[in-house]
Amino acid sequence: MSVVKSLEFVLPQDAVYLAGSNVDGQVILTLNSTLVDPIVKVELVGRGYVEWSEEVGESRDYSRDVICNNKADYVHKTKTFPVEDNWLSAGSHTFDFHFNLPPRLPSTFTSKLGHVSYFLQASCMGREHVLAKKRTYLLIQGTSDFRRENSSQNPLQVQAEKSLSYSCCSWGSVGLKVQMERDSFTPGDRVEFTTEIHNQTRKCIRTVVIALYAHVQFEGFTPSAERRQRLDSCELLRQEAHTHGPPFAVTKIVSAFTLPPVLSLSGTSGDGGLMSTHYELVVTVHLPWSLASVKAKVPIVITSACGGSAGSPLLGGTVSPRSRDPQS
């Protein structure tokens, strides 16, 4: 029978921590029997990694794939708990810990090409042998010095129009006008905007698709230290509005959605040069009777308040034991 019965974390459930704030919690170690000369510690680790393959020499008679990658370390702190008399009896033992996050951290991020992750790892050792390990991941929201007044606070308006043919010799056009009160938002904000559809055809418009995209440019290096960049896009949110846009009329649609609580900041966000992110709201009207579509693309800025207040996380729920990726 193993000496260690369980090793658990007690943390706020589903909490989002702002860079610069505190991470407070407990490690609960439960033993089946007495443990002599134990070493019980907890680590806070944050790191990022990107990797992709690309073809080189494609303009020559031969080509080959090379791996481009890059990595960054953001934080690594360790707390070793004092043990009175260098032994622990059978039963449960609770250890409190406190970490202060650095003020300049990139947000938690995951994609097929890379990630930025943060985790706590607790371990228990006895006589130089690791008896148990437990890991739990944290959601970190990065911060910036960006101020809302630096962005446009006047109503933002984007227009798009397409001329098209349908029903043999019929011609017309469909125009879009998207209006927003501002272009700067923080994670968790409610985004509201109005879409006007100018339908100058004899056909009805039935569907409007709204999507938020993140365009991420990764930066890596080949084995020979050549700098490379790779652009990747992912859809964060998607809504489909069913409407009845009559012929030769203007239809107005008011839409709203809530941003995710954790987002990478627009531009470079102190992530060690791994990536830069830009966001785009795309409103699409599909025209199946002409095999075409009209798109209006609205750039938006994701920012965050500068600096986290020492104390509680940005968002949090109830306190409960958490453990993932057990290792023994």
Q: Could you count the other beta carbons within 10 Å of the beta carbon of residue 131?
A: 20
**Bridge partners, 159 (sequence order):** 177
Contact 18, 316 (CB under 8 A): no
pLDDT of residue 60: 56
Residue located via tokens 């109830």: 318
- Give mean pLDDT in consecutive 10-residue pieces for the chain, a chain of 328 residues: 94 94 98 96 97 77 83 97 96 98 94 96 93 97 65 76 81 94 94 96 93 96 93 96 92 96 84 87 91 93 67 49 40
- The rounded distance, in Å, linking the Cα atoms of 199 and 178 is 14
Contact 199, 176 (CB under 8 A): no
Query: Do 155 and 297 fall within a single domain?
Result: yes
Contact 55, 63 (CB under 8 A): yes
Query: Do 195 and 293 fall within a single domain?
Result: yes
Contact 32, 328 (CB under 8 A): no
Query: Do 153 and 126 fall within a single domain?
Result: no
Query: Do 180 and 257 fall within a single domain?
Result: yes
Query: Do 92 and 231 fall within a single domain?
Result: no
**Bridge partners, 71 (sequence order):** 49
For residue 93, give the CATH number of its domain: 2.60.40.640
Q: Which domain holds residue 250?
A: 148-302
Query: Do 90 and 171 fall within a single domain?
Result: no
The number of domains in the chain is 2
What does the angle CA 211 – CA 217 – CA 219 come to, to the nearest 5 degrees? 160
pLDDT of residue 166: 76
**Burial of 210 by CB count in 10 Å (0-12 exposed, 13-18 middle, 19+ buried)?**
buried
Contact 112, 233 (CB under 8 A): no
Query: Do 121 and 253 fall within a single domain?
Result: no
Query: Do 314 and 248 fall within a single domain?
Result: no
pLDDT of residue 197: 96
Give the three-class secondary structure for 139. Answer: strand
